[in-house]
Amino acid sequence: MESSSDLRSMIEQTLTMIITPDQQLIEKGQTQLQALELLDTYALALTEISIDNKRDISIRQLAGVLLRKYVSKHWTKDIENFIEPEVPEQVCR
């Protein structure tokens, strides 16, 4: 498993790909995000990126938007339109 800082770096690189004007990079980044979304600490990494004042504001904003979307789909099995995986309990705390 990737370390927390490695995962944050991977996600940040992927977000950078998504905000470029190159359509191929955008598509590659979106595919990578779909794979990263399955990791238990994905939501935590997005949170850390979105609150880090040292990061570029566009990356922070995109991380925040993706986190909101992730939470609305994966937070708990009790919500309508739930999609696996559920956010692990240790991340919810």
pLDDT grade for 77, boundaries at 50, 70 and 90? low
Please spell the DSSP secondary structure of 18-77, one letter per residue: HTSS-HHHHHHHHHHHHHHTTSTTHHHHHHHHHH-TTS-HHHHHHHHHHHHHHHHHHS-T
pLDDT above 70 for 55: yes
Instruction: Give the start-to-end residue ranges of the domains of the chain.
Output: 4-92
> Tens digit of pLDDT for each residue in 7-25?
899 999 999 999 999 999 9
Nearest of 44, 42, 73, 49 to residue 63 by alpha carbon:
49
Integer-rounded Cα Rg, in Å, for the chain is 13
Opening angle at CA 9, ends 16 and 35, nearest 5 = 80
Q: What's the chain's average pLDDT?
A: 84
Q: What is the pLDDT of residue 84?
A: 61
